[in-house]
Amino acid sequence: MIRSVLFAVAIASAVPAMASPARVNDPVAVVDAFAAAQQSFDQAALAELTAPDFVEISPLGEVDPRDKMLGFYAPEKKAAGPAVTMDERTVRTTGNVAIVTLRYAFGERAMRAVYVVRRDAGVWRLVSAQYTPIRIVKPA
């Protein structure tokens, strides 16, 4: 659980503040706005950026429905985290669904993230996020 919390705090530090979620109109911008909302513990933005059926899979493999994810980002739970970079981004779009993958790096640790973004009535919203730790290979 502690690693899950540390990772969430770390990714929340990865991006600068974004425009209002209502103006986000492409899958990559949705992912960036989601990360910015995590950084600022902005529950209203997180709610607007996620579909009601949103599900997150934590770095520990826990399945968190939208309400649990939103509860994690209550403003009183906000804490400082390590510096984070986002890179190795790929985007694949098919119709009303896009898959965005990227790498978060913080210190010696890194994670892969996979986001599924769906367009309903012209609005892109996240329906899934999964975070997978990248194993640190130590020299023999």
Judge whether residue 46 has pLDDT over 50: yes
Comparing 19 with 80, the larger pLDDT belongs to 80
- The 10 Å Cβ neighbour count of residue 139 is 3
Report whether 32 contacts 12 (CB < 8 A): no
Distance CA 113, CA 12 (A): 13
- Tell me the pLDDT tens digit for each residue of 73-123: 998 898 887 777 889 999 999 999 999 999 998 888 899 999 999 999 899
* 100's tokens: 């965005």
pTM of the complete model: 0.81
- Tell me the pLDDT tens digit for each residue of 59-68: 999 999 999 9
Q: What is the pLDDT of residue 36?
A: 87
Q: What is the pLDDT of residue 9?
A: 43
Mapped onto helix, strand or coil, the DSSP state of residue 119 is strand
Judge whether residue 54 has pLDDT over 60: yes
- The 10 Å Cβ neighbour count of residue 130 is 18
Distance CA 126, CA 15 (A): 17
Q: What is the pLDDT of residue 25?
A: 79
Mapped onto helix, strand or coil, the DSSP state of residue 10 is helix
Distance CA 42, CA 49 (A): 11
Report whether 64 contacts 131 (CB < 8 A): no
Q: What is the mean pLDDT of the chain?
A: 84
